[in-house]
Amino acid sequence: MTANSLSISQKDPDCVTSESRQVNVHIAQEEVYSFFVEIVKKLPPEDVLREFKGLFIDGLDSEDAEYIPGIYSIFLDDNEQDFSSTLKRCCYIIVNNWKTNRKDKYIQELVNIFINENLKIKSNNPPVVKICKNWIENFVNSKDYKDLKLFAIKYEESAKGHWANRYTSYLLIDQSVNDKNPREQQEAARRLSQQIKDKFKFELAMYIARSQSAVSSTTRYTNPSILGDQALRLIKAIVLKKGVFSHENIAHIFIKQTQNQTLEEFKINVEKYLFFSVENQELVKDWRQKFADSLSLWKKDYNQEIITKELFLRTCNRVIDCLTTEKAKEPSLLFTLLLNQGHALTLVIILLKIILICRNSRRHLETRIAHLIRLYEKYPENECKGVINFMEIFNITFAIYAENVEYNLIKMEEEERSNPQLNLDGYRVFSQMKVDRQK
């Protein structure tokens, strides 16, 4: 089966109603999807690329005014959106299969197909060809193409180029939860995001082990963060918060104590829970009050309702919005205040505490993080130092509290009068994979 064998034919617009025309488009789309599902499983990647190019690209350099490239004939009745959706899903049918079968190198070739001099609109192109080329150009300039390029970025190259590339896993999460994206895109995004996270966790654990070893520095593992040696001290400071007053234990107590409360009571208590462990209360007094005021105004009509699991989740998601961004239009006031005042770690710990009481909010948080990255990525790196510092601390903190890695801090030197938080050099961090005892 080849692209030429697809039974896509041009319809006479005068003989077709708008409803039947839409039916014809849907039938043609399903035929194209089935075609790519079949060939991506059977043919070598080079042949799949050739078929894709034959269907969507070849013929766009024609100077014949009567010629209409086959796939475009069904969309030319002012139907660019359906064309873009078709093109996008075909891309992800291919990408999802190649990611699953470790054929990543060909994804870059798929992305590069759209960067071609022949696709630029020329004065001697017939009107129909100009329309087709314009659709391709619009796709290349769209967020959809930007999202597609994320699958072609190698993990090793993520630290190069634009600073936002280092946080690709969150941008992929945003794709995976968007119901408007085809399922193949959601699946591929979810899988790749997890791979990137797992690799970061592994490299972080190896870096910790090697950086504390007496072995020659030539064997040291690469630090996956950009915080340098400060990363190790940060890790120690985070892991030090263990024992009876650990974040996990406090979260467990909070969940028990807030059962059967009204929404109004829960709002008051969640604000106390999130901020009580902040060391300098006077310093955070202003933005703590702003947070309390914002949360108190939310869903006031439900204040006397007993908090259910659904309302619990929605409240935690609302807290995340207050601390990150609402509707992805701009950073929240609290996010800007905390970063501008140098409280990135405080903000990250507060966000962590939300997830420890409501793990189902994790996706919502990661989506909001993706929105923040998109909001700031238009600025150069030297203007985003606060945001980048926040992202690095966020990455490390959530890697430490990941479900399948356990970190422990062991005191190597006895100093009776020393404050452990001020003498972190006397401690070493040890990490190990957790065993799933339910399996």
Question: What is the structure's pLDDT at 425?
Answer: 59
- pLDDT of residue 366 exceeding 50, the answer is yes
- pLDDT tens-digit series, residues 418-433: 454 445 555 566 666 6
Residue 13 token pair: 């617009």
Q: Are residues 98 and 243 in the same domain?
A: no
Which distant-in-sequence residues (6+ apart) come within 8 Å of 212 by Cβ?
A: 232, 428, 429
Q: Are residues 148 and 240 in the same domain?
A: no
The pTM is what?
A: 0.85
- pLDDT of residue 372 exceeding 50, the answer is yes
Q: How many domains does the chain have?
A: 2
Pick the last residue of a domain from 111, 132, 152: 152
DSSP string, 341-361: TT-HHHHHHHHHHHHHH-GGG
Pick the last residue of a domain from 152, 183, 206: 152
Question: What is the structure's pLDDT at 324?
Answer: 97
Q: Are residues 243 and 141 in the same domain?
A: no
Q: Are residues 121 and 244 in the same domain?
A: no
Tell me whether residue 169 is in a domain. no
pLDDT band (50, 70, 90) for residue 375: very high
Q: Are residues 246 and 392 in the same domain?
A: yes
Tell me whether residue 136 is in a domain. yes
Q: Are residues 343 and 242 in the same domain?
A: yes
- Segment 15-19 shows an average pLDDT of 59
CA distance 199 to 189: 15
Q: Are residues 147 and 233 in the same domain?
A: no
- pLDDT of residue 197 exceeding 60, the answer is yes
- Segment 342-357 shows an average pLDDT of 93
Tell me whether residue 416 is in a domain. no
Pick the last residue of a domain from 91, 123, 152: 152
Q: Are residues 125 and 253 in the same domain?
A: no
Question: What is the structure's pLDDT at 8?
Answer: 55
Q: Are residues 263 and 143 in the same domain?
A: no
Question: What is the structure's pLDDT at 123?
Answer: 86
Tell me whether residue 206 is in a domain. no
- Segment 38-59 shows an average pLDDT of 95
Tell me whether residue 217 is in a domain. no
Tell me whether residue 419 is in a domain. no
CA distance 409 to 223: 19
Question: What is the structure's pLDDT at 212?
Answer: 67
- pLDDT tens-digit series, residues 86-96: 999 999 999 99
Q: Are residues 13 and 119 in the same domain?
A: yes
CA distance 127 to 131: 6
Question: What is the structure's pLDDT at 439?
Answer: 37
- Segment 14-34 shows an average pLDDT of 79
Question: What is the structure's pLDDT at 11?
Answer: 47
CA distance 22 to 16: 10
pLDDT above 90: percentage of residues in the chain = 56
- 282 vs 330, more confident: 330
- pLDDT tens-digit series, residues 130-161: 999 999 999 999 999 999 999 998 755 665 67
- pLDDT tens-digit series, residues 78-123: 789 999 999 999 999 999 999 999 999 999 999 999 988 788 898 8
Residue 119 token pair: 């696709």
- pLDDT tens-digit series, residues 390-403: 999 999 999 888 66
Q: Domain of 106?
A: 3-152
Tell me whether residue 437 is in a domain. no
Question: What is the structure's pLDDT at 70?
Answer: 72
Q: Are residues 140 and 245 in the same domain?
A: no
* Amino acid identity, position 344: A
Q: Are residues 143 and 239 in the same domain?
A: no
- pLDDT of residue 183 exceeding 70, the answer is yes
Structure letter (DSSP) for residue 73: G
- pLDDT tens-digit series, residues 219-253: 556 788 888 878 878 887 777 665 556 888 899 99
Tell me whether residue 179 is in a domain. no
